[in-house]
Amino acid sequence: MPSPLQPFLEPSRPQPASETLTWLFTPAGQLLLASPSAQQLSLLSDPYAIIVPNWLQQVVERALATDRPSLEQAPQVENLRVALVTEVVHIPLTLELQWLADTDSGSTLLLVTGSCQDLNQSLLSDWQQLQFLEAQRLSHKVSYWSWNREQANQFFAAPQVYVLLGQDSNQPLTLETFLQSCRGSLDDLQSAATSLGNQRSHWIGDFQVHTAQGDRWLECHCLLHHDSEGQLISIVGNLKDITEEHHILSLIQDSEARFQAVLENNPNGILILDEQGEVLYANSTAEQLFGKSHRELKGKYLGFPLSFNITIHLDLVQSDRSLRHVDVSIVPIPWKQSKAYLALLTDVTNLYQTQQRLQLLQEATEKSPVSIVITNREGSIEYVNQAFESITGYSAQEVIGQNPRILQSGLMPLGFYQNLWATITAGKIWRGEFHNRRKNGELFWERTSISPVKDLAGQIVHFVAVKEDVTEQKRNRELLDHQANYDGLTDLPNRTLALDRLRQAIALSERSNDAVVVMLLDLDRFKNVNDTLGHSYGDRLLQAVAQRLRYSLPREMTISRLGGDEFLIICPSVEEGIHIEKLSQKLLQVISQPIVIEAEELVITASIGVACYPNDGSTPEVLMRNADTAMYSAKRNGGNDFQLFMPTMNAAAHERIQLETHLRHALEQYQLKVFYQPIINLEDGRVVGLEALSRWHDPQLGNITPDRFIPIAEETGLIVPLGYRVIEQACQDVAKWQQQYGQPLWVAVNLSPRQLRSSRFVQTTLKILNRYDFRPDALKLEVTEQMLMDDTASATQMLYTLHEQGIQLALDDFGTGYSALSYLRRYPFQSLKVDKSFLSDLPDSAESCALVKTIVAMAHGLGMQAIAEGVETEEHVQFLKEIGCEYAQGFFFSRPLPAAEIEPFLAQSIGSIS
């Protein structure tokens, strides 16, 4: 059967005069079938699709709307023909409409048949000709094919089909070869053809063919028609080269896949939300962030505000209880032909943490108690913290852009800043201290560390200075240094500093061969000042002495207070010619000038010991020790004196130390004994009393006289226990003898100044008396003039207390000291002992005779009894009797004897009298 398209496909051939066209429509207006020529006519307007042209559609719709008969009526209207004339692309066309009853589908079908004139006729206008030629050109591309079982399996394929399939058009295709050439890709067409059965249907599929021109994608669009038994009767198909579209489609698919990959692998969470805010899509990052699968999230309403370009912040708690900080930005997007929103979830946890850290750092920097300054490479200030503002007084505004040199005080040494700059520009850290000036002009010290800050390329971009105000610290340190080296009371160098200076002076002298003189100065009887006038007075006195020393000695000499009332004077590099004796004399004289403190005038004296480097020692320790020895020697001379050190002093000092050690031991071991020397009533020769005198026999050193050990006992304080021991022993022994002989025997015990200063002396003495039931008036305490010279108010008070208790007091060794009559009046003495030195010249020295006579007369005049000591001869006794002296003691009567030996003496003396 010739193709209905023949006239178009092969325009060169003679064309038939007219064409019959057939279309079949369902009651819904859907095209069921179009004859090839009808299709061809449609293709004129749309050559690539089997569609109903507009003009035909309108005709059909009108007919269906108005004239449509029922199924039953259809056969009757079979002959109803409607003649319509229309024009298609200016080709006059006559249409006839006919109703058909289709029992298969149970509906009334509309058959449209038409005829048109020969298309080639010369009646066509030029424009029509042109249109026609265009139609021909287009039709040439039509890839129409058809097959009809009823017409002997006729298979027709337009030339374009051969072109598309890459087949030779000289070898006509059958349905089988056509399908084969489609490489079996149309298998499913075949199966569709069999399975669709009793239906008319479209089938669309695409497949790939390999041609000499290359691979090509084709789309096959066909209409299958089955008979009532379901057998395929005919197929009308069309091939379409969709290589380009396929290519575009694959590009789109690729793009889609890429888009999907981008979505899926996006490090940001992506959610697509519908207009209600419910999740349409969630990528894997979003799944992770919410801890939910895509399925769980889908359809969920997450409460995001849906508006244009909005960003919100979310804190999402993770399964491990950690917190993720997420920024969500929402934008509206088109999504599958409708409106949707894209929510982009950016995990800013790290950023947030970094920000937090940065904030913390900034806070720390801002609130740091040390000042922080950041400058650029050129040194212009870019940042200062609050501490900087409060320390310097400059506000940040005032200094930003300025150079830190605004703080310079001009007090830093030359080259200081060059050195600093050279260090930091070399990329190193500089550390040091600035002496800077605050805005208010005040100077202050800053301990500073300046570090260069480099960029990634290693270039210095900033300098960071961290500065601490150490003014107070420095001041405190200086104060501490001062406190460590200076005496708090006098502000003179203390022992530590003095020793250091002495060391330095010695080191210097080693080179210069000059001498160094060390003078140790100790105030005489300073303790008395403290005891009587109080410690604050004592302190004032020490300050006054320090001041006098400072004013009277040259600057280069170090004057130091070693402690208590002890001062050290170091004369460094003493050249020959400097007269140490004169200097010492001067000092003694300066100090002994009366001092007025709190309206109280006082005279204080000092003792000075001098030692010289190198003669008297080569180390500070030896020099100090020797000066000390010399000073003690001066003290022993009665004070207000100076002594240059002599090596013999050391021997004496050594002996003293040895004695002291032995004395302690002797006291512990009760080696000290009490001897008694009788005191005789010159009138009747009776023993009226005994003087208790200490005796010491050391197993190693032999007999040691009181003259040697009593001063040591006084210096060391051992005299106090020793004194009690003597009183106790004396009371014990004498009480016994009093009982034994029934005589009122008294006992004289020597007192040392130290004992008088002991506050418990009276109390302890009374206790002892009590213990032996000893009458207080039988105890006579002997006090020397020296003791009264060191008088203190408390000692005077004590003497009166003793007197009130009935204890007798005697002034011993009268005539050796100042022999001031005022003492005799001031104190409650009952007896006066004439010193033995006066007796030795008696009776030959008229002068001594007169003296003794006067003393005795004076004693009597003051209501005291006189006791002469050192009575050695008969002449002495005679003389004393003549001048009316009451009592006497001396070798003439008896030497001091141990208790055991005195007893027979007493027995004899008392016995002989009685």
How many amino acids of this chain bind Mg ion (CB under 5 A)? Answer: 5
CB of 538 to ligand C2E, least distance (A): 27
> Smallest Cα–Cα separation from 6: which of 131, 146, 178, 152?
146
- 870 touches, from ligand C2E, Mg ion, none (C-beta below 5 to 8 Å by class): ligand C2E
Q: Distance (Å, rounded) from C-alpha 769 to C-alpha 782? A: 17
Report whether 705 contacts 713 (CB < 8 A).
Answer: no
The answer to whether residue 909 forms part of the interface with Mg ion (CB under 5 A) is no
- 392 touches, from Mg ion, ligand C2E, none (C-beta below 5 to 8 Å by class): none
Q: Which is nearer to ligand C2E, 63 or 751 (CB)?
A: 751
Strand order of the β-sheet with 606-613 is: 558-563, 566-574, 515-523, 606-613, 641-644
Q: Distance (Å, rounded) from C-alpha 580 to C-alpha 574? A: 9
Q: Which is nearer to ligand C2E, 381 or 871 (CB)?
A: 871
Q: Which of 42, 167, 629, 750 binds Mg ion (CB under 5 A)?
A: 750
Question: Residue 900: exposed, middle, or buried by beta-carbon count in 10 A (0-12, 13-18, 19+)?
Answer: exposed
The answer to whether residue 782 forms part of the interface with Mg ion (CB under 5 A) is yes
Neighbours of 873 (CB within 10 A): 15
Q: Which is nearer to ligand C2E, 116 or 748 (CB)?
A: 748
- 752 touches, from Mg ion, ligand C2E, none (C-beta below 5 to 8 Å by class): ligand C2E
CB of 730 to Mg ion, least distance (A): 12
Torsion angle of C-alpha atoms 613, 616, 618, 620, degrees rounded to 10: -80
CB of 627 to ligand C2E, least distance (A): 30
Q: Which is nearer to ligand C2E, 201 or 840 (CB)?
A: 840
DSSP three-state, residue 224: strand
Q: Distance (Å, rounded) from C-alpha 446 to C-alpha 467? A: 6
Q: Which is nearer to ligand C2E, 138 or 849 (CB)?
A: 849
Strand order of the β-sheet with 443-454 is: 381-384, 371-376, 460-469, 443-454, 430-437
Q: Is 385 left (phi over 0), alpha (psi -120 to 50) or beta?
A: beta
Report whether 550 contacts 640 (CB < 8 A).
Answer: no
CB of 529 to ligand C2E, least distance (A): 24
Q: Which of 628, 812, 823, 879 binds Mg ion (CB under 5 A)?
A: 812
DSSP three-state, residue 755: helix
The answer to whether residue 728 forms part of the interface with Mg ion (CB under 5 A) is no
Q: Which is nearer to ligand C2E, 148 or 889 (CB)?
A: 889
Q: Which is nearer to ligand C2E, 332 or 843 (CB)?
A: 843
- 765 touches, from Mg ion, ligand C2E, none (C-beta below 5 to 8 Å by class): none
Question: Residue 507: exposed, middle, or buried by beta-carbon count in 10 A (0-12, 13-18, 19+)?
Answer: exposed
Q: What is the end-to-end Cα distance of the chain in Å, rounded? A: 200
167-to-159, 185, 829 alpha-carbon distances in Å: 9, 16, 167
CB of 660 to ligand C2E, least distance (A): 16
The 464-503 contact track toward Mg ion, x by CB under 5 A, reads: ----------------------------------------
Q: Which is nearer to ligand C2E, 450 or 688 (CB)?
A: 688
What residues numbered 217-236 form the site for Mg ion, per CB under 5 A? none
CB of 663 to ligand C2E, least distance (A): 13
Tokens of 88: 């298609």
CB of 708 to ligand C2E, least distance (A): 9
Q: Which is nearer to ligand C2E, 385 or 694 (CB)?
A: 694
Task: Say how many residues make up the chain.
Answer: 914
Q: Is 644 left (phi over 0), alpha (psi -120 to 50) or beta?
A: beta
Report whether 92 contacts 117 (CB < 8 A).
Answer: yes
Segment interacting with Mg ion (CB under 5 A) among 2-10, 153-161, 544-552, 869-877:
869-877
CB of 561 to ligand C2E, least distance (A): 33
- 891 touches, from Mg ion, ligand C2E, none (C-beta below 5 to 8 Å by class): ligand C2E
- 259 touches, from Mg ion, ligand C2E, none (C-beta below 5 to 8 Å by class): none
Contacts with ligand C2E, residue ranges (CB under 6 A): 677, 693-694, 705-707, 710, 726, 750-752, 782, 812-813, 836, 869-872, 889-891, 896
Tokens of 749: 């015990």
5-to-1, 92, 113 alpha-carbon distances in Å: 11, 18, 16
Q: Which H or E run contains 353?
A: helix 349-367
CB of 729 to ligand C2E, least distance (A): 10
- 872 touches, from Mg ion, ligand C2E, none (C-beta below 5 to 8 Å by class): ligand C2E
CB of 597 to Mg ion, least distance (A): 37
CB of 872 to ligand C2E, least distance (A): 4
Q: Which is nearer to Mg ion, 522 or 785 (CB)?
A: 785
Segment interacting with Mg ion (CB under 5 A) among 62-70, 281-289, 744-752, 847-855:
744-752
Q: Distance (Å, rounded) from C-alpha 185 to C-alpha 171? A: 21
Q: Distance (Å, rounded) from C-alpha 240 to C-alpha 263? A: 35
Segment interacting with Mg ion (CB under 5 A) among 46-54, 164-172, 781-789, 880-888:
781-789
Provide the binding-site residues for Mg ion, judged by CB under 5 A. 750, 782, 812-813, 869
